[in-house]
Chain A
Amino acid sequence: MTTAAIETPPAKCWPEDGITRVPAWIYSDPDIYAREMQTFHYGKTWNFVGLDCEVPEPGSFKRSWVGERPVIMVRDHDGTINVVENRCAHRGSLICWETRGKARDLSCPYHHWSYDLKGNLMGLPFLRGAQGKGGMPRGFDKSQHGLTRLRVAVRGGTVWATYSEDTLSFEEYTGPEILERLDRLVSRRPLRLVGYSRQMVKSNWKLYWENSRDPYHATLMHPFLSTFGILRTDGDYHSVPLEGGKHEYTYSQFDPELRNRTSEASQQIKSISNDLKIQDTEVVTSVIDEFNDGMMGAFQLFPTVLVQQYFNCLVVRHMIPKGPGAHELAWTYFGYADDDEKMRELRLKQSNLVGPAGFVSLEDSEVLSLMQPVVESRPDSQQVLEMGGHGTGAQSTMMTETLIRAFYEFYRREMKL
């Protein structure tokens, strides 16, 4: 018997039809989930932690997560950004309780062990005991009991962390296409934090991950898009898997004339009702083409984020797994330090489009939270992914599941499934 056979018992074998099928047990199996965390989030990947503008000054910190593990992103006295686990090296207490703040050092509330902003253990109370009794053994070496520190990569205004010494450089990890798209949004001008939305979604993280790779559903389940001509199946649209399916991007060239046209494709969508009019059209129009390319789109940087530009609304959707059946979405909205008053208001207005109450995103969490128990009730069932054929290449259409197939090609390779 081979080792592979032991690791993958028959019930957990991928269906024979390959990536055009996805077995439902991967959305609920606790072993699979644990392996995903080890392979991906705690493995050779770059995880989104935050934006540099969230920690503007030395001592500024922000809580974040890598996989399920709480971490602290903190700006050091020399201006560099460190990421350490938010877990005391003594007995594992949560050190930092505030979401965001400023501190001179990191001190644990439990027994007051204190660490510098790099996570080095500086001191602990009663090291030599009290009245000659107790205290730590003479040989106790403080340098061996610091906070677990992650490797950090900063690209433009974004901060990333990895547990592995073997992770590729950030630039190699993303590849040139993602890097270009990331730079377009975060590297040309200093960033400004607009604010957060946080959302708990009771579904496996992959259901949401797939959802962002699924343009097929976009105009159907989000009728707002087609009703107001933001995205139409007859418009320009590109679905591009990258780096062997690990990342992807989708984008379209915005066409303000679209709403006035009725085509055969748009007639197929029952959800279009052309008599609906939006009163404040600034919410659904590219009022200012700030990147001078008439483009809008989104990209996934595996395994944590979808970075999205909807007209002038800029947002990082951070997917934080919370067990096999839940994940949290931390939406970080940003703009640029030199935004004028008009642009600030525009970003706020257009942020009605995406988020927990977003005109074009609220359906996602509704559907996925209802889908999770159904999927759990039939772990033996399979998803069918044949839209746009069986391949994993880039396609210039929304009517394709190529991005999901490409993801599962990558996933199977990494998970050895």
Chain B
Amino acid sequence: MTKATASRAEIRDFYDDCAAVLDAEDLAAFPAFFTQDCLYRVISRENHDDGLDHAPIHCRGKAMIIDRVTSTREVALYQPRSLRHFISGVRILSDDGDEIRSSANFLIIESLVEQEPQILMVGRYLDRIVREEGELRFRERSCVYDNYHIRTTLVIPA
């Protein structure tokens, strides 16, 4: 039997750690969850299911994730907000000892000034995870959102 890359509990912790960084707006810590040659994207279910590649956030390689983080932290102008990620239904779809394919549901609630908290996004993570120097990393993360449209703006990665 080939050695498993990680257990379901480890994957769950990995997801929670990544979400905690985003909830804390500690964006500088976000790129470390990815491999150098990763693909990270936030894509609508409409495009994903139809085989259309466009994604509002499409980062090919860690460098692009770093650029998005830099731009969001240093350059972009947006209303102050709090995000909370709720992740459930973490599942390992396959594990060949080198790479795990896993998925989970996500719900992201956004709170803005003068407004009731609202659903920013709801959808599924579709991931490929590997182990590098003992640490789990995303080789690929597709945040596939069910929302028909994005409300106003998508600032913080999903």
Contact = CB atoms under 8 A, between A and B. Distances in A.
Does B bind A? yes
A178 interface: no
B60 A199 contact: no
A221 B61 CA distance: 28
Nearest to A197: B56
Interface stretch (A20-28, A131-139, A346-354): A346-354
Interface string A173-203: 0000000000000000000011111111110
B52 A362 contact: no
Contacts of A202: 152
Interface residues of B, number: 36
B77 A280 contact: no
Contacts, number: 121
A141 B135 CA distance: 72
Given A276-B74, A349-B64, A357-B42, A365 B152 contact: yes
A290 to B, nearest CB: 18
Contact of B71 (A201, A221, A224, A356): A224
Given A197-B150, A200-B151, A370 B64 contact: no
A55 to B, nearest CB: 13
Nearest to A225: B75
B60 A345 contact: yes
B150 A198 contact: yes
A402 B6 CA distance: 61
Judged by DSSP, the binding face of A is: mixed
A278 B72 CA distance: 12
Contacts of A201: 152
Nearest to A277: B70
Contacts of A200: 149-152
- State the 10 A-B residue pairs at the shortest beta-carbon distance, nearest first: A195-B54, A195-B52, A198-B149, A279-B63, A357-B154, A356-B150, A195-B47, A357-B56, A280-B63, A194-B54
Interface of B: 42, 44, 46-47, 50, 52-61, 63-64, 66-68, 70-71, 74-79, 148-155
